[in-house]
Amino acid sequence: MKFRNFRYLVVEGLKNIWTNRLMSIASVGVLVACMLLMGAAVLLSVNVERVLSTLQDQNVVMVYTADDTSEADAMIAMQQIQQLSNVQSVDFVSKEEGVESLIQDMGEEYADLFEFVDEGGEKGSFLPYGIRVSFVDLAQYDQTIEQIRAVEHVDHINDSRELTMQIINMRNLVTTAGVCIVGLLFITALVIIANTIKITMHNRKLEISIMKAVGATNNFIRLPFVIEGIVLGIIAAALTTGLLYGVYRLVVAQLQRVMSLQAVPFGSVVWWLFGLFCLMGVVTGCIGSVISIGKYLRKEGSEFRAF
Amino acid sequence: MESGQPLIEFKGVTKTYQKGTHALNDVNIKIYKGEFVFVVGKSGAGKSTFIKLIMREETPNAGEIFVNGYELSHMRRKDIPYLRRTMGIVFQDFRVIPTMNVFDNVAFTLRVVGASQREIRRKVSHALSMVGLGNKARSYPMELSGGEQQRVGLARALVNNPTLIIADEPTGNVDPNMSYEIVELLTEINRRGTTVVMVTHEHQLVRDFNRRVVMLENGRVVADNSEGAM
């Protein structure tokens, strides 16, 4: 195709958008709605992923020594655990810290109770020493737990395997749901774009029939519709990115009021999201227009006496 | 008139539609370069199918069709636009685009073939002056009479210098006086060397212009009078 042809057809595609502006606005509107949902799914997914990875980083196993273990022995046990290959870090929890942690979890009103249990002795005397252990690779969880169990003075381990698995399952669920939502919305967007193009095509039936009669190739006829689809997609992408920015800021501000949340900053994902929306717009625009016009173009008859 | 290879040749062409309508039955026609041929017949005689086959909108069930050097029965789909560029079509309902002015309606044909802006200006002006619409280039179809709209259609058909013009009842939607003007224009175009095939049911017009007449009836050629007398 010659360049001047291409330029002419691009202009025709843009004219189509303006000529059918109501339909264009409607389809951009629905596309924006689809993309907003998709964007929301992506942002949710990104944020959940962030929360989960933070949780995973903080994922620790509490190892407790036997009741009669001295502080020195507990420290030795901690050093032995630290030397295990899959252990990232260890942290010693004294009896006093243990009680404070318990009071923090259960509430200040229980502080007296713990004093009573201590029977006037050293604070937290009834508690074992604790060692907080974090792992390098959660996949080697079971082996590492066995290795820790074998260390002298280790009495029991607060096994958080279930929590870990729940975290991983939750992430997988979010990812799967995200992919499903994106897939469904992609199909919806495709149908919407295809229908808009079909209406434009119907409006330009006369023109198409003349084009065919005077010897236009199918690509020549198709290109303005493809351009129309792509431009609609890109307009929707730009609008969605802007809207999503506003909505995201509001939602994050509201959530931060009720809980301490370190949300992913919009700026760090904005280009990625815009790219995704543009890609979605371009792909749906191309496929949608090709689908709607393909059927019409394959039909060689009917254009001569189409009306 | 009969010299060299025919521009259009139907060899034993039969066309039956899927619904079972027998549109053409063993039709043999040769139309040579420079001829002006009226194709006449009642409704359902096969006139439209005849034109559709020439344009390669339809393919025959049997027989062979040659147009402008193309063999249409086994033609590849992607070659169809190039066949159509060798001919100009005039429609009964004008088919002018209401949102385009006269100039752009005519230029449309040239834009499809990728002509330069300069070429478009030159050829469109020439075609418009030929059909007597040189001063209406900026008018919109709504501002024109039926006859003028048909002349726009005619200018569009001849702007790309086709070797063949197919006119499908071009006078069907215009008043009798204008009908004569349209056919006179087609005759003038024919005089300059373009082959014209015109489908019509206006017998008076056919008689007055005294050209070759092919008469179809129930899908068969029942008369082919090169002298024009019916």
Q: Are the beta carbons of B51 and A304 separated by less than 8 Å?
A: yes
For A272, residues 6+ apart whose C-beta sits below 8 A from its C-beta are none
Place of tokens 């190892």: A63
Is 60 exceeded by the pLDDT of residue A186? Answer: yes
Q: pLDDT digits over B159-200, tens only?
A: 989 999 999 999 888 888 888 989 999 999 999 999 999 999
The residue type of B128 is L
Q: Are the beta carbons of A214 and B160 separated by less than 8 Å?
A: yes
For A211, residues 6+ apart whose C-beta sits below 8 A from its C-beta are A220, A221, B108, B112
Q: Are the beta carbons of A215 and B89 separated by less than 8 Å?
A: no
Terminal Cα distance for chain B, rounded: 19
Is 60 exceeded by the pLDDT of residue B13? Answer: yes
Percent of chain A with pLDDT over 90: 6
Which whole-number Å values give the CA distances from A166 to A114, A242, A253, A296, B215, in the listed order?
Answer: 32, 35, 28, 52, 85
Of A65, A68, A100, the C-alpha closest to A79 is A65
Q: Are the beta carbons of A301 and B97 separated by less than 8 Å?
A: no
Tokens linked to A187: 């199909």
One DSSP character per residue, chain A reads --HHHHHHHHHHHHHHHHHTHHHHHHHHHHHHHHHHHHHHHHHHHHHHHHHHHHHHHT-EEEEEE-TT--HHHHHHHHHHHHTSTTEEEEEEE-HHHHHHHHHHHH-GGGHHHHHHHHTTSSTTTTSPPEEEEEES-GGGHHHHHHHHHTSTTEEEEE--HHHHHHHHHHHHHHHHHHHHHHHHHHHHHHHHHHHHHHHHHHHTHHHHHHHHHTT--HHHHHHHHHHHHHHHHHHHHHHHHHHHHHHHHHHHHHHHHHS---PPPHHHHHHHHHHHHHHHHHHHHHHHHHHHHHHHHH--SSSTT--
Backbone torsions φ then ψ of A160, nearest 5 degrees:
-105, 25
Angle at A30 (CA atoms; ends A29, A32), nearest 5 degrees = 65
Is 60 exceeded by the pLDDT of residue B230? Answer: no
Question: What is the structure's pLDDT at A306?
Answer: 41
Tokens linked to B132: 């007597």
| Interface mutation target, options A8, A304, A307, chain B, most CBs of B under 10 Å | A304
Please report the ipTM that was assigned to this predicted complex: 0.84
pLDDT band at A301 (very low <50, low <70, confident <90, very high): very low
Nearest CA in chain A to B113: A216
Place of tokens 């992919």: A179
Of B196, B192, B193, B162, the C-alpha closest to B182 is B196
Partners of A301 on chain B (C-beta within 8 Å) are: 52, 57-58
Nearest-Å Rg of the Cα atoms of chain B is 17
Tokens linked to B219: 């899908």
For A302, residues 6+ apart whose C-beta sits below 8 A from its C-beta are B57
Asked if residues A63 and A157 have their Cβ atoms less than 8 Å apart, the reply is yes
Question: What is the structure's pLDDT at A302?
Answer: 46
Asked if residues A292 and A197 have their Cβ atoms less than 8 Å apart, the reply is yes
Is 60 exceeded by the pLDDT of residue B2? Answer: no
Min Cα separation A246/chain B (Å): 41
Partners of A5 on chain B (C-beta within 8 Å) are: 111, 114
* E strand spans, B141-209: 164-168, 195-200
Place of tokens 């420290």: A75
Of A4, A207, A213, the CB nearest to B84: A213
pLDDT: is A114 or A224 the higher one?
A224
Partners of B155 on chain A (C-beta within 8 Å) are: none
Which long-range contacts (C-beta less than 8 Å, at least 24 apart) are formed by B117-123? Answer: B117/A4, B123/B159, B123/B160, B123/B161
Asked if residues B64 and B58 have their Cβ atoms less than 8 Å apart, the reply is no
pLDDT band at A57 (very low <50, low <70, confident <90, very high): low
Partners of B51 on chain A (C-beta within 8 Å) are: 304
Min Cα separation B126/chain A (Å): 18
Cβ–Cβ contact B220 with A under 8 A: no
Nearest CA in chain A to B169: A305
Tokens linked to A107: 């509430």
CB < 8 Å from A in window 161-200 of B: 168
Q: Are the beta carbons of B84 and A215 separated by less than 8 Å?
A: yes
Q: pLDDT digits over A128-178, tens only?
A: 888 988 888 777 878 888 899 899 888 888 766 666 667 677 777 877 887
Nearest CA in chain B to A5: B114
Q: Burial-class residue B206 by CB neighbours within 10 Å (0-12, 13-18, 19+).
A: buried
Can you tell me the mean pLDDT for A83-97? 87
Can you tell me the mean pLDDT for A75-104? 86
| Interface mutation target, options A9, A200, A214, chain B, most CBs of B under 10 Å | A214
Tokens linked to B1: 């008139």
Structural domains in chain A, sorted by start: 3-55+166-298 (no CATH), 60-159 (3.30.70.3040)
pTM score:
0.68
pLDDT: is A54 or B89 the higher one?
B89
Nearest CA in chain A to B88: A214
Min Cα separation A229/chain B (Å): 21
Q: Are the beta carbons of A206 and B97 separated by less than 8 Å?
A: yes
d(CA B10, CA B29): 5
